Amino acid sequence: MSFLFGSRSSKTFKPKKNIPEGSHQYELLKHAEATLGSGNLRMAVMLPDGEDLNEWVAVNTVDFFNQINMLYGTITDFCTQDSCPLMSAGPKYEYHWADGTNIKKPIKCSAPKYIDYLMTWVQDQLDDETLFPSKIGVPFPKNFMSVAKTILKRLFRVYAHIYHQHFDSVIQLQEEAHLNTSFKHFIFFVQEFNLIDRKELAPLQELIDKLTSKDR
């Protein structure tokens, strides 16, 4: 959760998405932060008793967006058109961008451009009240879970790029504990609710096995 990062790194890639204080979703976020503090990530990701799954997924998706935003914000100086002319996660995996609306046909682009497209697209989804309603009593749309899955699948690619192409910089900045904790939390969450296909996780499968094996 975002509290892990304190105020040491205030640089974010995109503006932080805030959950309105006093709202039910804010209470859920506080619950998640308190549970995370216990150190048991398997427990922390479970749906709290009596809560709505859509709302729980929504709150956590916003939080993962904020975390990745901060993590990527710390390494933007190292992720440039020159250093990363393609959006990749190691030599075997390359990502081309399409959002189905503005860019219908997948395009090859540099990693910073791809991540800019991706984070802007995610932000647009999170800001859409018909998709992510913040008011109590406003129902989630029928396609909410499929939208959330697409968001999480795409956010995973930012983690994959950071680990494969910029882990040396992360170590240099002494951010590896933050990155590992954030990614482990993310993986436990998507595993708990089966939100990302296993094949999509392939670029980091070895790391996932390592991070999750101690907690089985």
Instruction: Give the domain CATH number at 146.
Output: 1.20.140.30
Q: How far apart are CA 39 and CA 20, in angstroms?
A: 26
C-alpha 61: how far from its chain's center? 7
Tell me whether residue 109 is annotated as binding: no
| Tens-binned pLDDT, residue by residue, of the chain (216 aa) | 333 333 334 456 677 777 777 677 777 777 777 766 666 888 889 999 999 999 999 999 999 999 999 999 999 999 999 999 999 999 999 999 998 888 999 999 999 999 999 999 999 999 999 999 988 788 999 999 999 999 999 999 999 999 999 999 999 999 999 999 999 999 999 999 999 999 999 999 999 999 888 655
Tell me whether residue 166 is annotated as binding: yes
In a domain, 12, yes or no: no
Query: Would you state the pLDDT for residue 131?
Result: 95
In a domain, 13, yes or no: no
In a domain, 8, yes or no: no
In a domain, 9, yes or no: no
In a domain, 18, yes or no: no
Query: Would you state the pLDDT for residue 29?
Result: 77
**Number of structural domains the chain divides into:** 1
Query: Would you state the pLDDT for residue 95?
Result: 97
Q: How far apart are CA 95 and CA 172, in angstroms?
A: 26
Domain range enclosing 177: 24-213
- 97 CB-near residues (< 8 Å, 6+ apart): 87, 103, 106, 107, 109, 113, 114, 117, 118
Query: Would you state the pLDDT for residue 7?
Result: 33
Tell me whether residue 161 is annotated as binding: yes
Supply the pTM of this predicted model.
0.88
Tell me whether residue 31 is annotated as binding: no
Query: Would you state the pLDDT for residue 30?
Result: 78
In a domain, 120, yes or no: yes
Contacts 24+ apart (CB under 8 A), 174-178: 175/9, 175/71, 175/74, 178/4, 178/5, 178/71
Query: Would you state the pLDDT for residue 5?
Result: 35
